[in-house]
Structures are given as C-alpha cells and as structure tokens.
Chains A and B, each alone.
Chain A
Amino acid sequence: MKARIKFRKYGVMRFIGHLDVMRFFQKSMRRAGIPIAFTGGYSPHMIMSFAQPLGVGVTSDGEYLDIELKEEIDPPEAVRRLNEVMVEGIEVVNFCRIPDDKKYSGMTIVAAASYKAILLESARSADVPRAFPVSWRGKLDEFLRQESIVVLKKTKRSETQADIKPMIYQMKLEEDGIYLFLAAGSEQNLKPDLVIRAFLEFIGEDPDSVPFHYHRIDVYARNMSEPKNSHKFIPLDSVSC
C-alpha cells in the first residue's frame, strides 16, 4: 500500500534544508501515528521517498513524498493527524493512495516543476517585492527567442557548458513575478535561479545584485496518455489520486 503526501513549505521553514525536512517528516509520522512500513534488518528505517529536493530559501506549494503503509488509513484522517503535529511553515494539503505498480512509484516519474520568481526590493527580505522595470517584458521575449541559451552549470566536481533552452518549457513575465515551467527530475533538471541569472546576464544586469525570491508552485509527471515529447504534464497528486 502506498500513499503520496503533498505539503506546503513556507515562512521560516524555508531555512530548513531538504535532509532536515526528511528527518522532520520521519519524526512527524511517529507523532501522528501514521502506520508507515519499515525496511527489515538491524536498523529498520521508514519506507519514504521525497520528490525533488527544494533549495534552502525557496518556498513551495507543491512538495511531495511517497510512503509505504503497513495498514490502511483514511486519507482525510491522515491529513488531520499530520497537521496536528506539524509546525508553522509546513502544511499537509493532500494524502492519497497511489497504485503499487512500478510506473507510479518512487519519484522517478517527476518530469517538470513550475516556479514563480519574485523580484525583491532587497535580499534582506523575501516579503517585500519590487515591480519589474517596464523594459523587462520585451527583453524576456528577446531572451527566449535566442537559438540557444548556454550557461555554465556548476556541480561539485565540474563545470560544464549546457544549453538550457530545451529545458525551459515556459517562461512568462506577469505583474507579480516571472512564471517558469522547467524540466525537473532525474533525467534532466533545471533550477529556476539558473534561468533567472542567465536572463539577468542577457539584459546586462549583475545577477548577484538583483535579488529574487523563488517559490515552487508544483511538481509534475509526464502525462502518460500523451505522446512522449508533447510537454503535457499533470501535477504529481493528479497522477492517480
């Protein structure tokens, strides 16, 4: 029996890193009395896997974890019990059973994520947004019309040049932020700040002195009923819930 939990991360909890959020949920499962299954062996651990890690500082309305249950539990009851033991800044919004078969399981199905990038008055506070300069709208169109968008991707071991354009499925400037729809998951993954930095460099701004706050809206799987390259996605909690 498997279940998928969707939660929000906001407020001061954005300063808690991915590994610590995992620890937080392990302890929360015990506090809430969720009948979660364990692995065998000398030091059994909970069967639990998280979708897409979220960077420190980023808030989100669409975080997911999958768990294995050893007994049935009523989903609304599970949501209620979990929220009773949460802290301010984490809210469970959905708990749904998912089919046991492989193709839904784990977080291998993650294919895209959507974000909102908010321009800030100052890096000191993520709560005070600033309006976009008028010229940015036109410049964004130009940015996206480029043949390719080559950036330096840094990992712990190496720096490589990569064309991120194919991974940007959508990028729109609205009044309250730049909305991004980006490739995500284990195959290819693009972080929103990398796109925004490339854009700022393109328009001649210093990325380090133009502060943004990033907010993840949701995480998506490929819509299996559509052809493989169609870029049609559905939120993780709609896959089977």
Chain B
Amino acid sequence: MRKLALNDEILLKIEKPARYIGNEVNSVMKDKSKIDIRFAMCFPDVYEIGMSHLGIQILYDMFNRREDVWCERVYSPWTDLDQIMREEQIPLFALESQDPIREFDFLGITIQYEMCYTNILQVIDLSGIPLNACDRGDSDPIVIGGGPCTYNPEPLAEFFDLFYIGDGETVYDQLLDAYKENKKNGGSRKDYLQKAAGIEGIYVPQFYETEYKEDGTIASFKPTDPHARLTIQKQMVSDLTDTYYPMAPVVPFIKVTQDRVVLEIQRGCIRGCRFCQAGMLYRPTREREVETLKRYAYTMLKNTGHEEISLSSLSSSDYSQLKELVTFLIKEFKDEGINISLPSLRIDAFSLDVMGKVQDIRKSSLTFAPEAGSQRMRDVINKGLTEEIILDGAGQAFEGGWNKVKLYFMLGLPTETKEDMEAIPRLADKIARRYYEIPKDRRNGKCQITTSTSFFIPKPFTPFQWAKMYDKEEYVARAAMVKHEFQEQLNRKSLKYHWHEADVTVLEGVFARGDRRLSRVIREAYRLGCLYDSWTENFDNERWMHAFENTGVDIGFYNLRKRERDERFPWDFIDIGVTKDFLYQEWERALKGEVTPNCRVRCSGCGVMKYKGGVCVESKN
C-alpha cells in the first residue's frame, strides 16, 4: 500500500484531506525504478481549482503515455496545511507517489492568472527548491512554466529555469529527450538549459539581460548566452483532431469546480475583440472534427462515470459543427441522466431551443457579454454585438419562459466617457422593459437582470497593450457612477448591479505588462505573507502595497503611463504570429471607432497566416 506523506493526525485535522492523498480513479501509478524522468505537474492553486483545468489533464495524459516518464500532480496546499508544513518542515510532495517534489527531474507549473504568482513561490519554497533559478544546483528539479501568463513571463523571470511558450502538445517530447540525453552524458544543469534554449518555443530567462532607459522603459533586451535565441516562436498544434486528448481524465473524490467531462471543440477565436488576449494568442482558430468529438464523448463518459459533459472553447457558437454536436449529445445522453452544459453560446433561436432542452428554464439564466454599454464603445473594442441583437435575443428568450438575464461589462476601457458608462444601466433597463412588454398573464413574475462589471486590464499582445489604466480611486468612482445611474432607471427594482474589486485590478494590471524588475515585488509580497491572492478572503492589499514600497517599485509606471508606438515591451521577444504592426493598426482603428471583420468574413492579415493552419487556410467563399 502507498504510504502517505502526511500522517493521520495531520490528515484528520485539516480541511478536506482528500486534496492530498491521491489515489483517484484514472490517476497514474508507475514503478519509479523503471522511469527515466519524473515530472511534477503543478497548478498553483487549491486542488479543486487545479483539478478542473483541462490543460493539465492533457499534458498529464500525454507525458504518461511515454514509458520513460512518470508525470504526477501537485497543487498548492491550502493555508491550513501550508502552516503545518512550515512548522513541521514537511516537504511538498506529489499526489501519486507521495514523494517530495525535490526528488523530481521537473516541476512544471501552469500559470493561468496573475494573482497566483505568490502561490508559485509557495510551491517552489515548500518543495525546498531555491526561489531564484540562478541559485539552483544539479540536484534541483528544472522549474518550467507554461500557460497564458507566460506570454509575458518577465515578472516571473527570476523564478523559472524555462518557459514553454505555446501549445503544450508540440515540443515537450524534444525537451524530455534532450533531458534524458544530457543526464546520460553526465551533463550539468547549465548544459541542459543551453540545449533547451535551442529548442523552438523554449525561453531560458537567465540567458538574457535587459537594459533600461532613464525613463524606466526598456533600452535593450539581449541574449547573454550563444545558445539563446533572439526571438521565441510560439508553438502551435495545427491539427487539433490528430493530437493528444485524455480519454480517461483523473476523477477527483471531492467536488471540484469542473466536475465533468470537458470536450474542447476548438482552440482560438475568429472574432478579434481588441481587449481579449486569448483571442490573439491562440490564433488561428482551429476546430476539432465533430465525429472525433462524438467518440471522445462516449469514451470519456464511460471512463470517468461523470454525470455531466460540457463544451469548451472561447466562443462555442462559432464552431461550424455545433448543431450537429449538440443534437447528438442530447439524443445520446440526455436520457442517461447526463447533464449537458453549454457555456458561451450566442443567444439565438437555435441556442434557445437547445437550452430549453437541457436546462430548467425557470431556474437558469441567459448570459450576454456586451462588454460595453454604448454602441460607440462596442465599436472601439470590436465587439460585434448590437443592442438590437441583445434585445431581440432577450425578447425571444422571455417569450420562451426565461426571466433571468446576466450581463457582463467592462469599465475603464480606452476612450470611455460618462455617456458610455451610463449606457450600461440603460441597456439593462431596456432589457427589463422588453420583458414587461409581454402581457402579464403570459410572463413568469418579475424579471431579474443582473449586471456585473469588471475593470478593463490591458494585456500584452492585444491592440490595447498601448492603453493606459487608471488608479484605484478612479475605478471606484466609475463603478459608483454606474451604480448611481442604475438607481435612476424605471425598472430599477428588477435590476441588480455588482462590480469587481479595484485593488486586484491594479495589481493584475502591473503584472500583466510588467518587466523583470517585478520579480522582487512578488518575492517581497510572498515574504510578507501574501498567498492565495485570487481568493477574496485571503487577498491583503495592504501587504501588497508594502511590498511595492519596500522594493521601491512604482505602480504608476506600469499602469498610468501612456505607451508610445515605438516603446519596446518586455514581451516583444516572443513571436505569437500576430505582428506588432497589425496590433498597432488595430489600436488606431479602435481609437477611431472602426470595426474589423472576423476571420471568416475577411482575413485582416494579422500575420498568423505563416502557421498555415486553422481558419487561415479554410476555404473561404
């Protein structure tokens, strides 16, 4: 029997011991004496969040198909166990073997959001690995990062040996083979990092040096090692059908956020919303074949026993075979007691029809994400959703029996005016009015329109990467103005308004477009006790502000400054295919309120064509 890393006394004292014992259905056990490479795959958040992530399940499956690799999982210990591990000096361990991470060859960390950065340090620290990559020796695991935040890895540069830029399905085999080879030849850590630097898509931060101008912007960013490349090319799987997909994902014992089979139907998005980073990073849009997905649905449901299946993509309605797939899922699985969940569907006759079949209309709500209240603002962000479409969709839904609507908007978008903000409550009110146009005897009580706003954060590799942000006070003032306008609306009793915290927005903004100098802020915040910053109950803004003060880093430099066309950005050494010129052109069009058609309507020559895949090579008529 497996021996657990934590003793009974600890396991019976902490919250949810199931987070730490492994043993789940479909988790992979191997004989470690027959393995060449031990890989610990980490999502730096609590188990329930980490286990819900599709990317990790894909890589876990892909690595474990190799006989010479054993990939295991590790998540952030929750705060209760974190404290015990520090007091009793228990090293962080992997779930499957329960062995210390320190004994592994790799620690791979997926970096999905900025507010997990202190958790990354926690994982490295509790593992007993030096925080700074340059302090690590031959016996320390290679710490490698992947995921959306690595498209600007600079704030984390100090803590990682390698970053993998792009889809994980492509060059990992090369990376692992090179490691084996280096180990066999008795090569050092540095030898390996140099070899890795030669593999496409791999970035070795310690092999580069940044020089800054007097105004704090970057003067130059140069390799200091002959093996390091000048630019790092994003890796991309061009054929999503003919690649890895986990047929038997791990099934957790405890309820996790994504407790279901997930079918990734496509990667990328054709739309080109100007605020959306994923929309640019994952270009071009690539679809998975519908027949393959059908087979996956059967096999994965059978292998997991899950009672729910859900589709995953940035914009499911753009999947060309959506009707075929959804009809199939309903026909095959509805009567088996399998729930079918359909996120991110555009509201139209088809989606209302299928939603009526798979959910209880009285309980469920419709979701719209206009992102901006006025048409002018929606043109600026290139969101092709008009008021007419929204009111039409809502109207059809109300006639069909729905009475709850959720609306999502952003505040603080470039060029936003008072009128744009006031348009948010007014749009919500118009939707309510549309509801009350239905004769009383045909409607289902009152309607409930819930509006949420978040604050816009400019992200690297978007047309808005040049935009400036605001300070906390300004964000709070904007939300207050919207709130005030809500109270002026005719149907205010049917309208609810929530807004996101402004503190977190400011920090996310700094780290999204930050440079190497931020590593010391993250380290200081961690030293001061910041952890689980994405959890409202743990987030401590004061400590973060201390961390900035103590390190002398100015938030204003990152957030409040207007960036010039020729500024060199910290992430400019990464090539995602979309050119900086295209992004700048889109930024200029945005400021003029000009919309750009989506990839299926007309190619705008963003640069991604060079990958020769997906929508760029679809036959266009």
Quick check: A27 and B9 within 8 Å, CB to CB? no
Closest to B20 in A: A15
Contact of B337 among A15, A16, A46, A89 (CB under 8 A): A46
Interface residues of A in 126-184 (CB under 8 A from B): 126
Number of B residues with CB within 8 Å of any CB on chain A: 30
A13 located at the interface, meaning its Cβ lies under 8 Å from any Cβ of chain B in the complex: yes
Closest to A32 in B: B305
Q: Tell me the bound Cα distance from A126 to B1 in angstroms.
A: 14
Quick check: B304 and A15 within 8 Å, CB to CB? no
Interface residues of A in 1-31 (CB under 8 A from B): 11-13, 15-17, 20, 23-24, 26-31
Quick check: B305 and A85 within 8 Å, CB to CB? yes
B residues near A125, Cβ cutoff 8 Å: 7-8
B288 to chain A, nearest CB (A): 24
- Given A44-B337, A87-B23, A30:B1 Cβ within 8 A: no
Q: Tell me the bound Cα distance from A57 to B359 in angstroms.
A: 38
- Given A30-B301, A30-B307, A57-B8, A23:B339 Cβ within 8 A: no
Quick check: B4 and A12 within 8 Å, CB to CB? yes
B residues near A203, Cβ cutoff 8 Å: none
Quick check: B11 and A15 within 8 Å, CB to CB? yes
Quick check: A126 and B8 within 8 Å, CB to CB? yes
Closest to A36 in B: B337
A194 located at the interface, meaning its Cβ lies under 8 Å from any Cβ of chain B in the complex: no
Quick check: A20 and B254 within 8 Å, CB to CB? yes
A219 to chain B, nearest CB (A): 22
Quick check: A88 and B1 within 8 Å, CB to CB? yes
Closest to B306 in A: A27
B17 located at the interface, meaning its Cβ lies under 8 Å from any Cβ of chain A in the complex: yes
B18 located at the interface, meaning its Cβ lies under 8 Å from any Cβ of chain A in the complex: yes
B308 to chain A, nearest CB (A): 10
Quick check: B305 and A27 within 8 Å, CB to CB? yes
Quick check: A123 and B337 within 8 Å, CB to CB? no
Contact of A27 among B2, B4, B304, B359 (CB under 8 A): B304
Closest to B11 in A: A15
Q: Mark B3-14, 1 if CB is under 8 A from A, else 0.
A: 010011101100
Quick check: A89 and B23 within 8 Å, CB to CB? yes
Q: Mark A85-127, 1 if CB is under 8 A from B, else 0.
A: 1011100000000000000000000000000000000111110
Q: How many A-B residue pairs have CB under 8 A?
A: 77
B31 located at the interface, meaning its Cβ lies under 8 Å from any Cβ of chain A in the complex: no
Interface residues of A in 28-43 (CB under 8 A from B): 28-31, 38, 42-43
A residues near B25, Cβ cutoff 8 Å: 27, 31, 85, 87
Quick check: B17 and A56 within 8 Å, CB to CB? yes
Quick check: A31 and B302 within 8 Å, CB to CB? yes
A residues near B21, Cβ cutoff 8 Å: 12, 15
A45 located at the interface, meaning its Cβ lies under 8 Å from any Cβ of chain B in the complex: yes
B residues near A28, Cβ cutoff 8 Å: 305
B126 located at the interface, meaning its Cβ lies under 8 Å from any Cβ of chain A in the complex: no
Closest to A16 in B: B253
B residues near A29, Cβ cutoff 8 Å: 305
B residues near A124, Cβ cutoff 8 Å: 7-9
Closest to A24 in B: B253
B24 located at the interface, meaning its Cβ lies under 8 Å from any Cβ of chain A in the complex: yes
Q: Tell me the bound Cα distance from A126 to B7 in angstroms.
A: 9
B255 located at the interface, meaning its Cβ lies under 8 Å from any Cβ of chain A in the complex: yes
Quick check: A12 and B23 within 8 Å, CB to CB? yes
Closest to A127 in B: B8
A residues near B337, Cβ cutoff 8 Å: 38, 43-46
Contact of B18 among A15, A27, A38, A44 (CB under 8 A): A15
Q: Tell me the bound Cα distance from A30 to B11 in angstroms.
A: 30
B251 located at the interface, meaning its Cβ lies under 8 Å from any Cβ of chain A in the complex: yes
Quick check: B254 and A27 within 8 Å, CB to CB? no
Interface residues of B in 303-330 (CB under 8 A from A): 303-307
B residues near A27, Cβ cutoff 8 Å: 25, 251, 304-307
A residues near B1, Cβ cutoff 8 Å: 11-12, 88
A residues near B24, Cβ cutoff 8 Å: 87
Q: Tell me the bound Cα distance from A31 to B304 in angstroms.
A: 6
B360 located at the interface, meaning its Cβ lies under 8 Å from any Cβ of chain A in the complex: yes
Contact of A23 among B9, B253, B302 (CB under 8 A): B253
Closest to B305 in A: A27
Q: Tell me the bound Cα distance from A30 to B333 in angstroms.
A: 12
Q: Tell me the bound Cα distance from A56 to B8 in angstroms.
A: 11
A residues near B302, Cβ cutoff 8 Å: 30-31
Closest to A31 in B: B305
A160 to chain B, nearest CB (A): 25
B21 to chain A, nearest CB (A): 5
Q: Tell me the bound Cα distance from A87 to B27 in angstroms.
A: 10
B residues near A87, Cβ cutoff 8 Å: 23-25
Quick check: A26 and B7 within 8 Å, CB to CB? no
Q: Tell me the bound Cα distance from A12 to B9 in angstroms.
A: 13
Quick check: A20 and B18 within 8 Å, CB to CB? yes
A225 to chain B, nearest CB (A): 39
B residues near A126, Cβ cutoff 8 Å: 8
Quick check: A12 and B255 within 8 Å, CB to CB? no
Q: Tell me the bound Cα distance from A154 to B24 in angstroms.
A: 33
B residues near A88, Cβ cutoff 8 Å: 1-2, 23
Closest to A33 in B: B302
Quick check: A15 and B305 within 8 Å, CB to CB? no
Q: Tell me the bound Cα distance from A44 to B254 in angstroms.
A: 21
Q: Tell me the bound Cα distance from A17 to B307 in angstroms.
A: 20
- Given A57-B8, A89-B23, A124-B9, A16:B303 Cβ within 8 A: no
Q: Tell me the bound Cα distance from A46 to B305 in angstroms.
A: 12
A213 to chain B, nearest CB (A): 8
B residues near A56, Cβ cutoff 8 Å: 12, 17
A residues near B23, Cβ cutoff 8 Å: 12-13, 87-89
Q: Tell me the bound Cα distance from A30 to B339 in angstroms.
A: 14
A222 to chain B, nearest CB (A): 33
Q: Tell me the bound Cα distance from A57 to B251 in angstroms.
A: 21
Q: Mark B322-365, 1 if CB is under 8 A from A, else 0.
A: 00000000000000010100000000000000000001100000
B358 to chain A, nearest CB (A): 10
A18 to chain B, nearest CB (A): 12
Interface residues of B in 232-273 (CB under 8 A from A): 251, 253-255
Q: Tell me the bound Cα distance from A11 to B359 in angstroms.
A: 40
Q: Tell me the bound Cα distance from A17 to B254 in angstroms.
A: 9
Closest to A46 in B: B337
Q: Tell me the bound Cα distance from A103 to B138 in angstroms.
A: 68
A23 to chain B, nearest CB (A): 7
Q: Tell me the bound Cα distance from A13 to B323 in angstroms.
A: 42
Contact of B339 among A12, A17, A43, A89 (CB under 8 A): A43
In the A-B complex, the 10 residue pairs with the smallest Cβ-Cβ separation, listed nearest first, are A27-B305, A30-B305, A124-B7, A31-B305, A15-B17, A123-B9, A44-B337, A20-B253, A12-B21, A42-B360
18 pairs, A vs B, C-beta closer than 8 Å: A12-B1, A15-B12, A15-B18, A15-B21, A23-B253, A26-B305, A27-B306, A27-B307, A30-B306, A42-B360, A44-B337, A45-B337, A85-B25, A85-B305, A88-B2, A122-B9, A123-B8, A125-B8
Residues on B close to A: CB < 8 A? 1-2, 4, 7-9, 11-12, 17-18, 21-25, 251, 253-255, 301-307, 337, 339, 359-360
Residues on A close to B: CB < 8 A? 11-13, 15-17, 20, 23-24, 26-31, 38, 42-46, 56-57, 85, 87-89, 122-126
Q: What 19 additional pairs, Cβ within 8 angstroms, besides A17-B18, A29-B305, A87-B24?
A: A12-B4, A13-B23, A15-B12, A16-B18, A23-B255, A27-B25, A27-B307, A30-B302, A31-B305, A42-B359, A45-B337, A85-B305, A87-B23, A89-B23, A124-B7, A124-B8, A125-B7, A125-B8, A126-B8
